[in-house]
Chains A and B, each alone.
Chain A
Amino acid sequence: MADWKTPDNAKYTENDEWIIVDGDTAKVGLTDYAQDQLSDIVFVDMQVEVGDTVSAGDSFATVESVKAASDVYAPASGEVVAVNSALDDTPETINGDPFGAGWMIEIKLSDAGELDGLLDAAAYAKHCAEREG
């Protein structure tokens, strides 16, 4: 069984998104477990632009591999301030560096309290282990 990275500075959703806060903005992406399930990612269909507002639970992108396509949901609400356009040419960055260069969008949080309802690293790691068992 693979050991998936679950950095402590991130919060997680049950849908395998991560969110890392930096001041009043936060970056969002897919976890190591998610990219492993998808295997080689070939396309990222970004469905939001800078300036759009997302609510927690809204789908903002679809990520495609050869054997699956997954919708990606915003873990928290806010205004989109940046979109990782590098993923247009090199979507596989999500596989290689899911928490770093593979970030997907950056949002200006409208309600930081929403993060309290998310999983911490330990709870998320348990969630992954349960699904593999």
Chain B
Amino acid sequence: MTYIPHTDADRKAMLEAIGVDSLDDLFDAVPADLRFPELDLPPGLSEMETAWELNGLASANVAANDFALFLGAGAYNHFIPSVVNHILLRGEFYTAYTPYQPELSQGTLQAIFEYQSMMCALTGMDVANASHYDGATSLAEAVIVANAHFRGKRSKIILSPGVNPQYRAVVRTYHQGNDLKFVGDKGSATVPDLVDMLDDDTAMLVVSYPNFFGQIDDLTGLAKSVHDAGALLCMVVDPIALGLFKSPGELGADIVVGEGQPLGIPLSFGGPYLGFFATREKFVRKIAGRIVGETVDADGRRAYVMTLRPREQDIRREKATSNICTNQGLMALAACVYMSVMGKHGLRRAAELCYHKAHYAAQQIDALEGYSVDMSQPFFKEFVVACPEPVAAINDVLLEHWGIIGGYDLSKDYPARENQMLLAVTEMNTKDEIDTLVEALRSAPDDIANHAHHHHHHS
């Protein structure tokens, strides 16, 4: 049997010790008419047969190893130093459990403490937790904190339309059972428009930095306006951008959330990713997620331990700050290793590469006939291209003829943005790839006209 080591002799001896005749006897408590149903599953395969099948499934995907990827919109093809994967493959890390027994978990605990410290340094905040599931759920948890902070007395959350559409949807899913009102994101409100919405029923205002379109909004004075209204300011941030740009802490944020996938975690068709969450010290008892603190052991030796546990579900139960139990621990380790090996200089360089390459691409594309790129605001690693044809049609041509996975069709989430593509350029895109993309876009309108029909389905 796969992974099950028992021999017939083992089974015999064990059944005797228990005092039953057969394995089936161990299930007498289960209603007899429902016991031992057939499972409609295929028979088990050997390791190599399974590997062949999985290889077949993997090969049936177009992926960034074979194609040039210019798709972002919340998940990015960033450089992952080889060190990261080697550390994640250490069985001591990945087959370990949650570090509830600190004497047996100092490796995990110290690594998380280091991760927390790096996230604080990156975001400019006092405290970070050990992870949420992803950027979207981190934001949903930030809303829970805001609601708890005002003890339910403020019911309005202002969301910028520049926050990732999936994140805003997840926030609404999470809060469908309470009376919070989510406003501000149905149209094209600018940051000043959002500030105008502040009132004494506002618990929190949420902006994205950079925003979903890659732009860096002018956030000067935002924190002051929000705080003058007595509300909290939450920023959704890109961690690579923070290698270059001022930290949200410096800009006056109270809570910082975002997606940590760019920090050494592969695309992996959408998960597992890493939700980071950082905040000011005064909110620490209200936040969810595990937190590691420094202490000493019985001999006075420095040691790490999960702390502020009474916030968590196993102790507080229905009064817990959240129901979160399992988090994204190994992904936090990945981010810690990434930020260690990239370090102060590497992260800055990766961010600069993204910046220069995205600007080069934007300028080249803007110069194409029929295309334009709005470069009126500073931007980082992503920008919006107004195209002469529907984005889906252009992407078809890019894929079929040029080996390029094109950008995101913004009309899916912003109906007013027809034919607008969100293009991402990272340090992983070479100049050659970008030049090829430009060529592909240049000839796309003709290629589309020459095609009678599309091969692909679009949902």
Note whether A and B contact each other (Cβ less than 8 A): yes
Residue A2 CB within 8 A of the other chain: no
**B211-245 residues at the A interface, CB under 8 angstroms:** none
Residue B344 CB within 8 A of the other chain: no
- Selected from A43, A45, A68, A71, the residue in CB contact (under 8 A) with B315 is A68
Bound Cα distance from A30 to B379, whole angstroms:
57
**B23-56 residues at the A interface, CB under 8 angstroms:** none
On whether the beta carbons of B285 and A67 are closer than 8 Å, the reply is no
Against A, the Cβ 8 Å flags (1 = close, 0 = not) of B304-316 are 0001011100011
On whether the beta carbons of B285 and A68 are closer than 8 Å, the reply is no
Residue A64 CB within 8 A of the other chain: yes
Which residues of chain B come closer than 8 Å to A68, judged between CB atoms? 310, 315
Bound Cα distance from A27 to B307, whole angstroms:
31
On whether the beta carbons of A43 and B285 are closer than 8 Å, the reply is yes
**B101-115 residues at the A interface, CB under 8 angstroms:** none
Which residues of chain B come closer than 8 Å to A110, judged between CB atoms? none
Q: Size range of the interface on A?
A: under 10
Residue A69 CB within 8 A of the other chain: yes
Shortest Cβ distance from residue B99 to the other chain A in the assembled complex, whole angstroms = 15
Which residues of chain B come closer than 8 Å to A67, judged between CB atoms? 309-310, 315
Residue B454 CB within 8 A of the other chain: no
Which residues of chain B come closer than 8 Å to A66, judged between CB atoms? 307, 309-310
**B299-347 residues at the A interface, CB under 8 angstroms:** 307, 309-311, 315-316, 319
CB closest chain-A residue, reference B306? A66
**A26-83 residues at the B interface, CB under 8 angstroms:** 43, 45, 64-69, 71
Bound Cα distance from A66 to B100, whole angstroms:
12
Shortest Cβ distance from residue B316 to the other chain A in the assembled complex, whole angstroms = 6
Secondary structure type dominating chain B contacts: helix
Shortest Cβ distance from residue A76 to the other chain B in the assembled complex, whole angstroms = 23
CB closest chain-B residue, reference A63? B310
On whether the beta carbons of B285 and A65 are closer than 8 Å, the reply is no
Shortest Cβ distance from residue B152 to the other chain A in the assembled complex, whole angstroms = 13
Bound Cα distance from A65 to B311, whole angstroms:
11
Shortest Cβ distance from residue A98 to the other chain B in the assembled complex, whole angstroms = 19
Shortest Cβ distance from residue B80 to the other chain A in the assembled complex, whole angstroms = 38
Bound Cα distance from A69 to B320, whole angstroms:
10
CB closest chain-A residue, reference B316? A69
Shortest Cβ distance from residue A68 to the other chain B in the assembled complex, whole angstroms = 6
Shortest Cβ distance from residue B420 to the other chain A in the assembled complex, whole angstroms = 49
Bound Cα distance from A79 to B281, whole angstroms:
31
Bound Cα distance from A64 to B316, whole angstroms:
10
Bound Cα distance from A111 to B307, whole angstroms:
41
Shortest Cβ distance from residue A20 to the other chain B in the assembled complex, whole angstroms = 28
Bound Cα distance from A45 to B149, whole angstroms:
13
Which residues of chain B come closer than 8 Å to A64, judged between CB atoms? 285, 310
CB closest chain-B residue, reference A69? B310
On whether the beta carbons of A45 and B285 are closer than 8 Å, the reply is yes
Bound Cα distance from A67 to B308, whole angstroms:
9
Shortest Cβ distance from residue B284 to the other chain A in the assembled complex, whole angstroms = 10
Bound Cα distance from A64 to B319, whole angstroms:
13
Which residues of chain B come closer than 8 Å to A43, judged between CB atoms? 285
User: Which residues does B use to contact A, with CB under 8 Å?
Assistant: 285, 307, 309-311, 315-316, 319
Selected A-B contacts with CB under 8 Å, 16 pairs: A43-B285, A45-B285, A64-B310, A65-B310, A66-B307, A66-B309, A66-B310, A67-B309, A67-B310, A67-B315, A69-B310, A69-B311, A69-B315, A69-B316, A69-B319, A71-B319
Other than the known A64-B310, A66-B310, A67-B309, what 16 A-B pairs have Cβ atoms closer than 8 Å? Answer: A43-B285, A45-B285, A64-B285, A65-B310, A66-B307, A66-B309, A67-B310, A67-B315, A68-B310, A68-B315, A69-B310, A69-B311, A69-B315, A69-B316, A69-B319, A71-B319
* Pairs A-B, 8 closest by C-beta atoms: A69-B310, A64-B310, A69-B316, A68-B315, A68-B310, A66-B309, A69-B315, A67-B315
